[in-house]
Structure 1
Amino acid sequence: MKKNMWSYTRILLASILIVTIISACVKTALAATSSSASEIVYSSMSSSAASLTESTENATKYTMSSSNNEVKIDSAGVYIVTGSCSDGNIIVKKGTTGVTLILKDLTLTSSTSAPLSINKTSQAKIVISGSVTLTDNENAADENSTDTDVADAFDGACIKVKDGADCYITGSGTLTLKGNTKNGIKSGDDSATVCIIDGPTVNVTATNDGINAGYDLSILSGNVAVSAGDDGIHADRILTLGSSSASPTITVSKSNEGLEGNVVNVISGTISVKASDDGINAANSDGTYESSLTYSINWLGGKGTINCSGDGLDSNGNINLVAGSLSISSGSTGGEAGIDYVGSLYVSDDFSLTNNSGVSSDASMGGGMQTTQGQTMKQSNGQGGNTKSNMPSQDMGGQMVRQGMNPGGKR
């Protein structure tokens, strides 16, 4: 009997030892890559249009219809546009500033251009009131037309924010965008271009990208839902979701890559992504690798869920998981992983991560290879380094900052 008890005891001790070693290896594989967060780059983009008045006392009113199908705005003021038009457009003309455009219970479709164009160097606060639907039905072939006038006139979006324009989209209504030709929203690639969404419910369906910013893009608050043929939400440079004072709800129900930018900063909110490729991708829009650029995915607050066939988080640079929670379900074969990075991976003590598909670092692009399958972890103190010095305060003041940090996005 004593012999049997000793055998059972040895088996039990061996089992405990194995479990302890496996647990330590899992935690080490996730968190030991870096003991502190790498540098986090924030967008310096802010909107002067955000402070424009919404008072309707002296507003100019337009009711769109088949016989009144074009609204051109060339001076400052408050404008209210309502009605229904099967083929028309609204244009804030080049260089026009101080425009508050209230879209109220409006249905507008265009076959010749974007239904709403914010032209170069103009400034507009777009206020969504009631139910607003904008549909882009341009001819997709016009984009590559041999007639340069036709090609130049192609907008390929329901809302086109041209180079150097400041567009601040707000309000309490619902904006439905049907990008039947290409994108839902498209903004220019000039560094002065501002595209900020703050407040409304925005529902986007698009054959290409749901929202595509040629420079920075910020979604500070509101409820944004996207179904897209390619990227759900894309910024060529810095994509910011949430702020220190508000929390958006972002749902990408269909996409190739869900969220994409050179830098993707999740500051707050509830984020849900479904993608046939990567869930969140920090890379160039053309997929190439440029070592001179700063690539990073930075999760600084909020909660997220990613379901994808590619990598859950894929960064051509660093990944910082600082605060909040994230659940990843992704492809685990053919080189795909829950988390894939090139530079460094940091997971703080305060971050809750569920990842069913492992961690991979590409040694050929600057990191060491490591893969761990099936992690569910809420780190306890002592496993992720000294996190207190790296945790952001409400104004993100505790983080290393470059490029003029402004998480709020407003002046």
Structure 2
Amino acid sequence: MRRTPLFLIASTATLGLVLTGCAATDESATDDVSTGSTASGDEVSSDSDDSASYDGDATVEEIMADNEDVGDTDAAADAEVVDITLDGGTASSDAEGVEVDGSTVTITQEGAYRISGTLDDGQIVVAAPEDAQVRLILDDADITSSTGSAISVEEADDVVIELADGSDNHVADAESYADTGEDAPNAAIYSTADLGITGTGALTVEGNANDGITSKDGLVIDSGDITVTAVDDGVRGKDQLVVLDGTLTVTAGGDGLKADNEDDADRGYVYLAGGTVDVTAGADGIDAAQDALVDGATVTVVAGGGHEETVADDASAKGVKAGIALVIGSGTVTVDAADDALHSDGLVAVPGGDVTVASGDDGVHADGNLNLEGGNVTVTASYEGLEGSDILIADGDIDLTSTDDAINAALTADDAVEQQARADGSGGGYGTEEVGDFSFIVTGGTILVDAEGDGLDSNGSIDIQGGEIVVAGPTTDGEAPMDANGTFTISGGDLLAYGSSGMASAPDLDSEQVSVFFLLDAAQASGSTAELVASDGTVLATFDATRDFQSVVWSGDDLTEGDEVTLVVDGTEVATATAGDYEEGEATGGAGGPGEMPGGGAPGGEMPQV
């Protein structure tokens, strides 16, 4: 576990906050910090025209209210149970709705059927009326097929697989299927109807040809101890894949969990509401065409071999991926992904829960808004920590490590390609100085940044209204601890940023809250202890530097314009600066790129060397 900066704020408001270890915080320290947004959907205020929007639709409950209802596992729960006994190469049953043809068992009527024994090379087929409710009770059943699916639901309304108490069940399909048509079964357990799995027993599924478990409608896992291995996708519900409880362990060559209905806005979602989900996938860990929602589950994902692996240009190995919204309301999510750890083509929101990710690309990426409003988010490794067009942090403990920008409010990758094409052809698009419609807003929470690139970066505005922020920024002059193409304002909270000096910038001088800005003649060494001391001897802040630094920015509500502040490093006075007294420079560097003069990236940037 990396060591984060030690940051002590001593203020006239007796606010005391110590950050040490991995995003540790004294919760009482933030009690007096007012936030502009909550998980319940309060509107965010901002002095910037580029405010991050928040329309109140970023909770799991509100998104699920617009989605198709979660199915249940009640099918034929009260029906009289009849037995099907498997015996090697055949089966037997006295039930009227069961037909046995060699090693193929076909269920033709609704009802509840207890299946036990071993079927060495055969199938359980459900071909009941389209309105039939069918329950398959697996009670120490072992079913293997050499020609196709082991369990295949051809027709029914709802089918439930119940794992009998204390039972240990096994299902495996063929390595190649006799029928490979477009609508043919393609999973060890395959259903054209809504499918549910419940019970307290265990189930092992081997998808030797393609998928492990697939439903062409919805799939609900209510309980059970389920282990799935699959050549391609592990568990797939076209309309929805819901896990309410139980233990689900998936190892897949393709995607781990998947809902792929792209056509219906209220479907195509993955909802993990409880239980334990452990996914190892060669491609995406969890892939939802519409929404990916976690609210109470414990989720662990390894995608593409983890963050130290490389993804091919035409491949995707994201941890959790959503086409519309990715929301974590509660629970625990741990991801190690070769690609983005959390990714949405639209919104990412974390109003609660504990999230720990490592990524070979972005830790958390949203093409639209990225809202962190109460959950704890730790990015242990990434290229960029957080990336979105508009980023809001309103609450929670945020701890970011990146080899490039830690927080980047900017163009998406596709937009960047498009604007570069415009720039190459006509000089249009966002250049290094142009202000884009992007924003990074902080209204509360604790943010720790360890960045080799820009610490806080926006191709538009930065607006700090509250919270506690520590940025250990880059050591190279082509990057900056903080960098905004547009306005950079601060009206509340505590901000400490240190790092290189060549592109260093501070909040705009017309901000409501004053800042002090040091640019030093010589770099100070990593491992040193620095103090910011007011003229009356009050220690405003102290930090243990985790990187070499040649610039320091500090802003707090106890700082007054005109105050003389001295920077003391390892007991030696290094420099003195006046709060609110630094020159405003033209924004030449832009977000994420080198500039021609110090101070690029924010209008409040340049200050003479001290």
Q: Same fold (TM over 0.5)?
A: yes
**TM-score (structure 2 length as normaliser):** 0.46
1:377 counterpart = 2:561: no
**C-alpha contact 1:240 1:266 (8 A) present in aligned 2:** yes
Q: Would you say the 8 A contact 1:50–1:125 is kept in 2?
A: no
Counterpart check, 1:61 vs 2:197 = yes
Q: What is the RMSD of the two structures over their aligned residues, measured on CA atoms?
A: 3.1
Alignment of 1:318-333 (within 5 A): 318-333=461-476
1:257 to 2:384 alignment = yes
Question: 1:186 is matched with which residue?
Answer: 321
The code of the aligned residue for 1:50 comes to: M
* Aligned-residue offset at 1:213: 1.3
1:205 aligns with 2:336: yes
SS of structure 2 residue aligned to 1:221:
coil
Task: Give the structure 2 partner of residue 79 of structure 1.
Answer: 221
Give the aligned partner of residue 345 of structure 2.
Answer: 214
Assess if the C-alpha contact under 8 Å between 1:64 and 1:70 holds in 2: no
Work out the CA distance in 2 between the residues paired with 1:260 and 1:316.
11
Which deviations, in whole Å up to 9, do the C-alpha atoms of 1:216-242 show, x marking residues without a partner?
Answer: 211221000011111111111211111
Deviation at 1:335, TM superposition (A): 2.4
Q: Structure 2: which amino acid aligns with 1:229?
A: G
**Once the 2 structures are TM-superposed, how far is the Cα of residue 381 of structure 1 from its aligned partner?**
7.7
Unaligned runs of 5+ in 2: 1-45, 76-159, 161-195, 305-310, 312-316, 420-428, 507-516, 520-550, 562-578, 581-610
1:241-252 matches, within 5 Å, as 241-242=372-373, 247-252=374-379
| 1:96-121 deviation digits (Å, cap 9, x = unpaired) | 36x6432521110111x311112123
2:370–2:387 contact (8 Å) kept in structure 1: yes
Q: Which position in structure 2 is the counterpart of 1:338? A: 481
Question: Relative to 1, partners in 2 of residues 1:80 and 1:292: Cα closer, same or farther, differing over 3 Å?
Answer: farther
C-alpha distance in 2 between matches for 1:217 and 1:229: 19
**One-letter amino acid of the counterpart of residue 118, structure 1:** A
How far apart are 1:86 and its partner, in Å? Answer: 2.4
Q: Deviations over 1:71-114 (max 9, x none)?
A: 33344674326411222522221xx36x6432521110111x31
The worse-fitting range, judged by mean Cα deviation, of 271-280 and 102-111 is 102-111
Alignment partners' CA distance in 1, 2:299 and 2:352: 14
Larger helix proportion of the pair: 1
Q: Aligned with 2:246: secondary structure?
A: strand
The one-letter code of the counterpart of 1:300 is T
Structure 2 Cα separation of the partners of residues 72 and 285 of structure 1: 33
Residue aligning to 1:353 = 495
Q: Distance in 1 between matches of 2:554 and 2:371?
A: 27
Which residue identity does 1:129 align to in structure 2?
G
What letter matches 1:73 in structure 2?
S
User: Contact 1:101–1:124 at 8 Å: present in 2 too?
Assistant: no
Q: Does residue 232 in structure 1 map to residue 356 in structure 2?
A: no
Which residue, 408, 419, 441 being the options, matches 1:298? 441
CA drift at 1:64: 4.7
Identify which of 87, 108, 128 aligns with 2:250: 108
Alignment partner, residue 309 of structure 1: 452
Moved more, 101-110 or 250-259: 101-110
Question: In 2, Cα distance between the equivalents of 1:371 and 1:211?
Answer: 36
Residue 170 (structure 1) aligned with residue 268 (structure 2)? no
Aligned to 2:41: none
| Structure 2 residue aligned with 1:129 | 274
Deviation of 1:209 (Å):
1.2
Report the AA paired with residue 363 of structure 2.
G
* Partner in structure 2 of residue 118 of structure 1: 259
Amino acid at match of 1:169: V
Is the contact between residue 49 and residue 123 of structure 1 (CA under 8 Å) also seen in structure 2? no
Number of aligned residue pairs: give it: 309
Q: Residue type matched to 1:66 in 2?
A: V
Tell me by how many angstroms 1:127 deviates. Answer: 2.5
> Partners in 2 of 1:298 and 1:169 — Cα distance?
24
Amino acid at match of 1:345: F
Change (3 A) 1:54 1:322: farther
Deviation at 1:208, TM superposition (A): 1.8
The whole-number CA distance in structure 2 between the counterparts of 1:252 and 1:91 is 28
Question: What SS is found at the alignment partner of 1:310?
Answer: coil
> After the TM superposition, which of the residue ranges 310-319 and 326-335 deviates more from structure 2?
326-335
User: Whose RCO is larger (CA < 8 A, sep 6+)?
Assistant: 1
Question: How big is the shift at 1:310?
Answer: 1.1
In structure 2, how many angstroms separate the alpha carbons of the residues matched to 1:73 and 1:161?
14
Bigger shift: 271-280 or 118-127?
Answer: 118-127
Q: Is the 8 A contact 2:332 2:353 kept in 1?
A: yes
Q: Give the partner amino acid of 1:374.
A: V
SS at match of 1:50: helix
* Paired AA for residue 266 in structure 1: I
Distance of aligned partners of 1:90 and 1:329 in 2 relative to their CA distance in 1, 3 Å threshold = same
- Residue identity in the other structure for 1:158: G
C-alpha offsets along residues 302-327 of structure 1, whole Å, 9 cap, x if unaligned? 11100111111011110001111100
1:18-70 CA-to-partner distances (Å, cap 9, x unmatched) read xxxxxxxxxxxxxxxxxx72131224454655345698766731665234763
CA contact (8 A) 1:280 1:314 kept: yes
Q: Does 1:273 align with 2:400?
A: yes
Shift of 1:334: 2.1
Cα distance change of structure 1 residues 43 and 292 upon mapping to structure 2, 3 Å threshold:
farther
User: Helix, strand or coil for the counterpart of 1:38?
Assistant: coil
- The alignment-based identity, stated in percent, is 25
Q: In structure 2, what is the Cα distance between the partners aligned to 1:76 and 1:109?
A: 21
For 1:323, the aligned partner's letter is G
- Relative to structure 1, the CA distance from residue 66 to residue 76 in structure 2 (aligned partners, 3 Å threshold; closer, same or farther) is closer
- Code of the aligned partner of 2:298: T
Return closer, same or farther for 1:125/1:333 CA change in 2, 3 Å cut-off.
closer
